[in-house]
Structure 1
Amino acid sequence: MYFPFNASPVYGDEWVLNNNNNNNRSTRNANNIINNNSDRPTISTGAAMDSGEDPDAPDTNRNKKKRHHRHTAHQIQELESMFKECPHPDEKQRMQLSRDLGLEPRQIKFWFQNKRTQMKVSEAQHERSDNCSLRSENDKIRCENIAMREALKNVICPSCGGPPLGEDSYFDEQKLRMENARLKEEVSLCFLQNSVFLERVSSIASKYIGRPISQLPPVQPIPISSLDLSVATGLTEMEKSLMAEMAAAALEEAVRLLQADEPFWVKNSSDGREVLDLDSYLRAFPKKSPDVRVEASRDSGLVIMNTLALVDMFMDSAKWAELFPTIVSKARTIEIIATGMAGSRSGSLVLMSAELQVLSPVVSTREFHFLRYCQQIEKGTWAVADVSVDFSSRENQFAAPSGSRKLPSGCLIQEMPNGYSKVTWMEHVEIEEKTPPHRLYRELVSSGLAFGAERWLGTLQRMCERFACLMMTGTSTRELGVIPSVEGKRSMMKLSQRMINNFCASISTSSGHRWTTLSGLNDIGVRVSVHKSTDPGQPHGVVLSAATSLWLPVSCQNVFNFFKDERTRAQWDVLSHGNSVQEVAQITNGSHPGNCISLLAFNASQNNMLILQESCTDSSGSMVVYAPVDLPAINITMSGEDPSYIPLLPSGFTITPDGQAASTSSNPSGSNRSSGGGSLITVAFQILVSSLPSAKLNVDSVTTVNNLISTTVQQIKAALNCPT
């Protein structure tokens, strides 16, 4: 602590002031800082503070040598304690302190006066320091503001190519809004006056949605976002208006199909799924009959998540991808065209891109660029519609590389009691397959099961149950082991979800993920891919991903039970070296008993490594994913700390139906399938080849992982009594 007079500390907070002229000047300066009030004390010097002598005594007395009195530690403690309770003691309180501490009343009085002065001086110094900091920060902001103004003088308007508005007008938000409104009126006028442009727009819309714009029924207007000086896509206001027309027409068509029954939707004779009757559809929505394959399916069910939360997740590309990690391999928002009305998602329109996947290295992803439009159509009911973007003037900027296009698709979300929602989902796409999928997955893909509405809805129901379990504060009767806290349970679930996301990404055929096929095994072979890992949550270095897919004449449920049961793990886990494992903890992850997170420990006591495993299943398929985690990392996670930086290298299995009717289809290998239907299995491993990012992949590593997968497949077939 600093004071403007010369002082030396005694017993911590007590100060002894030296008697000299400099101190008197400093004292006067200090007093000038303090605000005037009725009880403003006088800084006493030397013995006046300690001995209790009157500071107003004649100067002749001050020139005499004074006897210094130093308060004891006990006296200081009592005075400080009294000061905290009452900085302004009355005469009665001072007399009581005088008797208790053995000091004269004048000494008590002057001590309190000096203490109050010291506190005010200190506060004044802090205030002065704060003022200096604020002035410095203000000067810095002012300089940045001047620099920005100077830079903005050279800005060129991206819409007209001319200079910007005047400096004052540029920073006037109200004037900018008025200018935007004027520009929008000019754009509308251009639409009305330019018949040639209208014909071109109508032609594009007719090609895309089957009808010219003039024939479309009136729709609720979509609020287009204001002009943005930093639009990455360079969309013009006319293109945004055309996109709004497309999205509104798509929403109308999607809602009509979602709410309709026959003749639009008929039951599939083999599996009872709802599929679109193309003839009825083309009669109601006239357009050119497509020359490519069309997939259209619908499904509905209850979801344990409220309506507004679902809408919010669908309109945010990052949340949407997190909601569907097994289907969406990539997703991003290209541009937000409209933000909605009255602070809600109703009327919001976004331009998005996404890659959709089947969890196998032999099925190519489907990439789409599409508009997603959200509208509240009545109280408690929301519609979300998707439609692909098609601009001939943009060449192939928004055209998907796969050639696939989303026809009006989407979902209807209806609010239900107790936080549930009824979701009716529709997928409607045109598929242009340059290369047909591998014959193992051909039936699954062509039947529409691979990317159909049933898979989307089943995944949504399972993931919403997972989120509900994540938010639960209690425990389920199915849970095993001891999780020390709710925070520890949530931390374990977050770690496991990251493991699932990593596993799905490791076997994706997304762009940039190149697979190399090794010879051997089945006609698919073992496919390997190498990437350099530097992301948090993954071991740093060179990671080798290896996967293969195969068909088994065993039902999906039986295969799932086989992989999930820790008692049969030694029959397929070649890395366990025959050691059995025991489930020491389990976290419920949904209503199905197979949806859970397990912590497995080897029975060999000398092993300090545990296995984190998540198993999940729904109507579209199943997964069993696991990763080794050391004991200290598990303890950190179970204590509730952030598990984001715990390295994971997951491996596992995906199980999907083969897509063929069990009674009529034939086995790809020639033998008859079981009455319960067959299963398509993907086996995938990840191995850290080297902890050095600059390391090169060697032949030994490839041979090792090839043998690892081959041995695993052989042991699975043997355990399930399948022909090798």
Structure 2
Amino acid sequence: MNTKDQPNLLEGSQQLPLQHQHSNLLDIAQITGESEMVRAAREQEDFESKSGSENIEGASGDDQDPNQRPKKKRYHRHTQHQIQEMEAFFKECPHPDDKQRKELSRELGLEPLQVKFWFQNKRTQMKTQHERHENTQLRAENEKLRAENMRYKDALTNASCPNCGGPAALGEMSFDEHHLRLENARLREEIDRISGIAAKYVGKPMVSYPLLSSPMASRSSLDLGVGSGFAPPPISGDILMEELIRMAQVGEPLWTQDLDNNIDALNDEEYFRNFPRGIGPKPFGLESEASRETSVVIMNHVNLVEILMDVNQWSTVFSGIVSRAITLEVLSTGVAGNCNGALQVMSAEFQVPSPLVPTRESLFVRYCKQHGDGTWVVVDVSLDSLRPSPVLRCRRRPSGCLIQEMPNGYSKVTWVEHVEVDDRSVHNIYKPLVNSGLAFGAKRWVSTLDRQCERLASVMASNIPNGDGGVIQTAEGKKSMLKLAERMVISFCGGVSASTTHQWTTLSGSGAEDVRVMTRKSIDDPGRPPGIVLNAATSFWLPVPPKRVFDFLRDESSRSEWDILSNGGVVQEMAHIANGRDHGNCVSLLRVNSPNSNQSNMLILQESCTDSTGSYVIYAPVDVVAMNVVLNGGDPDYVALLPSGFAILPDGPTGSVPGGGPISEVGSGGSLLTVAFQILVDSIPTAKLSLGSVATVNSLIACTVERIKTAVSGEAAQ
């Protein structure tokens, strides 16, 4: 039985109500006094007994005799087997379509209407349980507010005269004034708390500011002291969030259209005129970089917000951009069981997949808030001025995204990236791409998100299209293979840039100036083979469009032209999992049939992915026995991987590509290609690294580069 995950926010069919459905769960729970466990058990019993069809004896509707007493409805109780099967189906697809309901009813011996009512009631039951959980939390919040209100009243009763210190006479201090003083004190404590966090993690406390005095400032939900040594007044988190919203929605004159590159360009003078209460003037030596991009992605807004507020999910989805991320402190988890009001102090490192582009490190606060029905805002605000380093190389002005709910599980995302950076260390061949804002900008974030949402939708789909699975026979095998490929991509991206945070040690004097070689010892990691691993990476320019390079490298028929490990063997695709609209987005299992009969055939796991900002072809040799376990739905975390591959980027803004003319220089429509290998050079972790191993890796990567240049240059000449 095939199933599809088809989120549908608009349920148009008629719903059969549950017996215990009610409009105010909180009031009824207080009146009845039933425990949560008893009430839940009773609802489950009622649901199982009355979620079936209604078998009505006799006529119904207009055909019934008005003088005849209508006969009582008789409910049909589902069998345990039918309930178990529908429960299992519900976990995969809570909103089955007509075709799926008919197929399920046929297998279980039920009417389609019975199946429809069962799923409607199951969704209602889940919603009721969720509302009860939220109401429990709201009651707790209400009790806190009542207790705080009593403290305010007690403080008002015992108020003292501000002049003499004696008891205050009635009318000397209004309740509102006293409330504001208490609120100011609370905000001061919050500022001191954030200052303590900064001192704990970056070694330098934030500047202490005087108490807030204005009622407007006292009501702000978050006040941060951020700046560049000029000690500006505290900046409200809501003010910074409003700045991001306006940056996302306002057009000219704040943003102007760059027709050559088809991107929005920020007017700096207009920006500072509109947002005078920012995080301070631009530090000396830094250049402004701002970009904005909008797209509709296949993910509902709730799940998208959860990904952005979970550092592990965030760094996984954006593994090509985020080389390292950690949450230093959670100041607030939000209210009512969601991320509304969530506040975190985070540290992250952002990368371009090349050793020729330095990473950008940033310390920032991430703030999430619901802004109207179905609209959420997630904003990052830099705290990099607090770092003990005397040189500031990157600072994030309010950046993030505006997420708007759309029908059928889609979301409209408007992303804004606004930073001030020092990019003088970027290699010349990457400067057109970096200076255009495309390397780290909003378009790359949104394009990556769009592609990853399609990939996640592929993971969630439990069906395997006919002819695509190959040796994959089950949905569990498909998910295990995709999870293994995801880990392979993360490992590749973590070792390809100039990052120093991935337990790699850079080797000096490795024998090749244009190749960066790093080493790492692996001992107890089940996902990597034990021993000494070398990671070699290099980047270079090709006078060939990125799409042509991508198609050449991912095609198994041309693999023998560059892959030394295939040793001239024929490469055959054994399994194929599509990951999106572009046919280049897929995960494949390849088999290399060696021409030497004495050598065993080799399996290669490969993922290729592409969007308008860049492409990847990443692969790793895999053990045959371990891969069989994965294909049968086994745990992929214990499969040892050493990924290698390619990152392909445009050499500048897409608008600079000439119309069919020759590509003669960087920035005119060519490709920036990064080649990286991870190779086990010694299976004993305690062994010493030999110079011969380094020389062998250098030779391997140099030979691969020359083969690729020769092959694609020959294609370009044709």
TM-score range, shorter chain: 0.5 to 0.7
Matched, 1:625 2:618: yes
> Residues 642 and 566 of structure 1: is their aligned pair in 2 closer, same or farther, counting only changes over 3 Å?
same
CA distance in 2, matches of 1:262, 1:316: 34
Matched, 1:701 2:693: yes
Q: SS of 1:720's equivalent?
A: helix
Matched, 1:362 2:351: no
What's the offset of the Cα at 1:689? Answer: 1.3
What's the offset of the Cα at 1:275? Answer: 2.0
The residue that corresponds to 1:469 in the other structure is: 458
CA distance in 2, matches of 1:400, 1:370: 18
> Residues 459 and 285 of structure 1: is their aligned pair in 2 closer, same or farther, counting only changes over 3 Å?
same
Give 2:678's aligned amino acid. Q
> Residues 487 and 663 of structure 1: is their aligned pair in 2 closer, same or farther, counting only changes over 3 Å?
closer
> Residues 279 and 648 of structure 1: is their aligned pair in 2 closer, same or farther, counting only changes over 3 Å?
same
CA distance in 1, matches of 2:401, 2:676: 33
Residues 661 and 677 of structure 1 are in contact (CA less than 8 Å); yes or no, is this contact kept in structure 2?
Answer: yes
The residue that corresponds to 2:684 in the other structure is: 692
Matched, 1:592 2:585: no
CA distance in 2, matches of 1:683, 1:383: 37
Match of 2:433 among 444, 451, 455: 444
CA distance in 2, matches of 1:627, 1:192: 53
Match of 2:607 among 588, 601, 614: 614
Q: SS of 1:378's equivalent?
A: coil
CA distance in 2, matches of 1:319, 1:493: 16
> Residues 674 and 317 of structure 1: is their aligned pair in 2 closer, same or farther, counting only changes over 3 Å?
closer
CA distance in 1, matches of 2:366, 2:394: 16
The worse-fitting range, judged by mean Cα deviation, of 495-504 and 245-254 is 245-254
Residues 555 and 676 of structure 1 are in contact (CA less than 8 Å); yes or no, is this contact kept in structure 2?
Answer: no
Q: SS of 1:499's equivalent?
A: helix
Taking the TM superposition and a 5 Å limit, the aligned residue runs for 1:130-169 are none
Give 1:640's aligned amino acid. G
Matched, 1:222 2:216: no
> Residues 400 and 340 of structure 1: is their aligned pair in 2 closer, same or farther, counting only changes over 3 Å?
farther
Taking the TM superposition and a 5 Å limit, the aligned residue runs for 1:500-649 are 500-512=489-501, 513-516=504-507, 525-534=514-523, 535-604=525-594, 606-649=599-642
> Residues 213 and 360 of structure 1: is their aligned pair in 2 closer, same or farther, counting only changes over 3 Å?
farther
What's the offset of the Cα at 1:441? Answer: 1.0
What's the offset of the Cα at 1:316? Answer: 1.1
> Residues 671 and 343 of structure 1: is their aligned pair in 2 closer, same or farther, counting only changes over 3 Å?
closer
Match of 1:249 among 230, 239, 250: 239
> Residues 621 and 664 of structure 1: is their aligned pair in 2 closer, same or farther, counting only changes over 3 Å?
closer
Taking the TM superposition and a 5 Å limit, the aligned residue runs for 1:266-345 are 266-286=256-276, 289-290=281-282, 291=284, 292-345=286-339
Name the larger-Rg structure. Answer: 1
The residue that corresponds to 2:101 in the other structure is: none
Greater relative contact order (Cα < 8 A, sep 6+):
2
CA distance in 2, matches of 1:544, 1:566: 26
Q: Flag as ranges the 4+ runs of structure 1 deviating above 4 A.
A: 177-194, 212-221, 242-245, 399-402, 517-521, 660-665, 673-676
Write out per-residue CA displacement over residues 501-531 of structure 1, whole angstroms, 9 at most, x where no aligned residue.
111112132234443466777xx61110011
Match of 1:260 among 240, 246, 250: 250
Residues 662 and 676 of structure 1 are in contact (CA less than 8 Å); yes or no, is this contact kept in structure 2?
Answer: no
Give 2:387's aligned amino acid. N
The residue that corresponds to 2:115 in the other structure is: none
What's the offset of the Cα at 1:266? Answer: 1.4
Residues 662 and 675 of structure 1 are in contact (CA less than 8 Å); yes or no, is this contact kept in structure 2?
Answer: no
CA distance in 1, matches of 2:297, 2:408: 11
Query: How many residues of Structure 1 are paired with residues of Structure 2 in the alignment?
Result: 512
Write out per-residue CA displacement over residues 284-323 of structure 1, whole angstroms, 9 at most, x where no aligned residue.
1136652420110000001111100010111111111011
CA distance in 2, matches of 1:664, 1:493: 35
CA distance in 1, matches of 2:360, 2:557: 39
- Scaled by the length of structure 2, the TM-score of the pair is 0.66
Give 1:702's aligned amino acid. V
Residues 478 and 588 of structure 1 are in contact (CA less than 8 Å); yes or no, is this contact kept in structure 2?
Answer: no
The residue that corresponds to 2:445 in the other structure is: 456
CA distance in 2, matches of 1:717, 1:686: 21
What's the offset of the Cα at 1:264? Answer: 1.3
Q: SS of 2:685's equivalent?
A: coil
What's the offset of the Cα at 1:388? Answer: 0.6
Match of 2:378 among 373, 380, 384: 384
What's the offset of the Cα at 1:174? Answer: 8.7
Q: SS of 1:644's equivalent?
A: helix
Residues 370 and 387 of structure 1 are in contact (CA less than 8 Å); yes or no, is this contact kept in structure 2?
Answer: yes
CA distance in 2, matches of 1:675, 1:256: 33
> Residues 445 and 584 of structure 1: is their aligned pair in 2 closer, same or farther, counting only changes over 3 Å?
same
CA distance in 2, matches of 1:577, 1:450: 35
CA distance in 1, matches of 2:215, 2:263: 31
What's the offset of the Cα at 1:400? Answer: 9.9
What's the offset of the Cα at 1:250? Answer: 1.2
Residues 357 and 366 of structure 1 are in contact (CA less than 8 Å); yes or no, is this contact kept in structure 2?
Answer: yes
Write out per-residue CA displacement over residues 364-384 of structure 1, whole angstroms, 9 at most, x where no aligned residue.
111111111111111011011
CA distance in 1, matches of 2:241, 2:296: 22
Q: CA-atom RMSD, angstroms?
A: 3.6
The residue that corresponds to 1:711 in the other structure is: 703
CA distance in 2, matches of 1:675, 1:443: 6
CA distance in 1, matches of 2:354, 2:390: 21
Give 1:455's aligned amino acid. R
The residue that corresponds to 1:137 in the other structure is: none
What's the offset of the Cα at 1:482? Answer: 3.2
Write out per-residue CA displacement over residues 185-218 of structure 1, whole angstroms, 9 at most, x where no aligned residue.
9874558999xx9xx9xxxxxx99xxx9879966
CA distance in 2, matches of 1:675, 1:367: 26
The residue that corresponds to 1:162 in the other structure is: none
CA distance in 1, matches of 2:576, 2:369: 41
Q: SS of 2:520's equivalent?
A: strand
Residues 549 and 682 of structure 1 are in contact (CA less than 8 Å); yes or no, is this contact kept in structure 2?
Answer: yes
The unaligned stretches of length 5 or more in structure 1 are: 1-172, 201-206, 225-234, 236-241
Residues 432 and 667 of structure 2 are in contact (CA less than 8 Å); yes or no, is this contact kept in structure 1?
Answer: no
Q: SS of 2:639's equivalent?
A: coil
> Residues 488 and 189 of structure 1: is their aligned pair in 2 closer, same or farther, counting only changes over 3 Å?
closer
CA distance in 2, matches of 1:403, 1:700: 38
CA distance in 2, matches of 1:245, 1:676: 43
